[in-house]
Amino acid sequence: MTSFAGNTAIGMFWGYLAFLGTKGVSLVSLILLARLLGPETFGLMALCTLVIVYFEIVARFGLGAALVSVEDHPAEMETAVAVMALISAAAMAGLAWMLAPVIAAAFDAPELIWPLRVIALALLIDAAGVVPVALMARRLQFRRKVAPDLARSLVKASVAIGLALGGMGLWSLVWGHVAGTLAASLAAFAVAPWRPKVWPRRSVVAQAFRFGRHLLLAEMITAAQRNLDALLIGKLLGPAALGIYTLAFRLPDLVIRSFTQIAGSVLHPVISASGADRAAMARLYLLSLRHVALVTFPAGAALAVAARPLVELLYTPDWGAAIQPMACLAVALAIQTIDHLPGVIYKAMMRTDLLLWTALVKLPLFVAVLLLVAPYGIKALAAAQIGLAFLYAVPNWLILRRIIGVGLGQTLAALGPAVVLAAAMAGVGALTGGLHLGSPAVEAPALGLGFALVFLAGIWLAVPELRLAAQDRWRRGRL
């Protein structure tokens, strides 16, 4: 358990350092681009990325995760993953190129044809970096992973903003995406050089395929759950409405879901390497859930409370319709922490089939709810996400209870401190709102200061090991 805690802390430190750098750049870029471009341009780019994500999932085929989890014949597995990644990426890029006119016609947006084709070429660039990135994760070299993450964000933002200032519109976002992907792959090879050492046997390729097939289907279904709301908006309400919904989603995504994904990327190799038995796996899961929720739950509450002053301060009045959707999506993404972390356990236990089955259970419910509320607009869709987030936790809880013996009471106990801290954040919002500060330029910083003080105090009280370590270091310093 000490090794687990140490490796996790180190990984989370470097992962969060990359998170702060990349998401800080992304946030600044988002604010500037929102002022340079309009909701319709954002909506058109969102359609491109929403469509390409499905081709990207197939291209990756769960190969990076296979390289992290499968320990047999590592040299052969590395080569197998590299070759399979390039082949599948080439196939998906070609398919996306051919289908671009059909996809653009489906959304009544002929201007998407060439942007879709150009973004599809980035699949090949991304595939080239799959092995170095996966090897850094498997070897727990989290510090090195900062470089490709920062390179992607810095180059993507610089190119997009520069081209937007030059009046390139949608193409500024397209070329920014491609340039960022290229920078990330080059940086990955620079910090983790790799070349094939041996040609893989057919049995090793088959092993990678078996691992990836369940993960592929699960990720396809999960992507449908994450993106169907936006696709419905683009189809039924048009690019401008999608642009507003996309911007409403971006800040909660940057703050909450990105952190959850970082936690998952760190916990997967650490738990896989721990060789934990069933009882130890349950302890690791509950410990992970408790600490991740201590960040995501308060963050969700804070963003929900501060949605109005943030939108008014950061963006132009054209984006006022994003306020309520942002508040709802922040709460929903925080609750989805409960749905995300079980997947880490499934992958560590080599049970990617469970990811598939949980996705299959949730998909019909997701589709039915969204089809029912989509005609009522983006506010209704965002609100529906909160209810869905609670429902998503049910199948995972049933599976975890069976495979590692985690009960509902244990889960609620692990989440308890996070819920209390989130309620304290809501209290800060109510108190600040009662002061009637008026200008968002005053209200937003006041909220930020209150949130920071409450969060630090909550973490100090809820994480005794952190408090004890600080006290011990203070005593040593005094001595």
pLDDT score for 5: 46
Q: For residues 178 and 118, is the Cβ–Cβ distance under 8 A?
A: yes
CB-based contacts of 32, cutoff 8 Å, min separation 6:
161, 164
Task: Read off the pTM.
Answer: 0.72
Reading the chain (479 residues) residue by residue, the pLDDT tens digits are 444 444 444 555 555 555 566 667 777 887 888 888 878 888 888 888 888 877 877 766 556 566 665 565 567 777 877 777 788 888 888 988 999 999 899 888 888 899 999 999 888 898 887 778 777 766 666 667 777 888 888 899 899 999 999 989 889 999 999 999 999 889 888 888 877 777 767 776 676 666 666 566 666 676 776 777 787 888 888 888 888 888 898 889 888 887 887 777 666 666 666 666 777 778 888 888 888 899 999 999 999 999 988 888 888 777 888 999 999 999 999 999 888 888 777 877 777 778 778 878 887 888 888 888 888 888 998 999 999 889 888 888 888 888 888 888 888 999 999 999 999 999 988 888 766 677 888 888 888 898 999 998 888 888 776 666 666 656 665 54
- 354-359: long-range contacts at Cβ-Cβ below 8 A with a sequence spacing of 24 or more? 354/399, 354/403, 355/214, 355/215, 355/218, 355/219, 355/222, 356/214, 356/215, 356/217, 356/218, 356/221, 357/395, 357/399, 358/218, 358/395, 358/396, 358/399, 359/217, 359/218, 359/221, 359/222, 359/225
| Largest pairwise CA distance in the chain | 72
Q: How far apart are CA 162 and CA 153, in angstroms?
A: 14
Amino acid letter, 297: F
**What angle in degrees, to the nearest 10, is found between the helix axes of 440-462 and 464-478?**
80
pLDDT score for 470: 60
Q: Which residue has the tokens 């949980």?
A: 358
pLDDT score for 479: 44
pLDDT score for 18: 58
Q: How far apart are CA 310 and CA 22, in angstroms?
A: 20
**What angle in degrees, to the nearest 10, is found between the helix axes of 146-165 and 2-36?**
0
Burial of 53 (0-12, 13-18, 19+ CB in 10 A): middle
Q: How far apart are CA 205 and CA 214, in angstroms?
A: 15
The distance of Cα 241 from the centroid of its chain, to the nearest Å, equals: 23
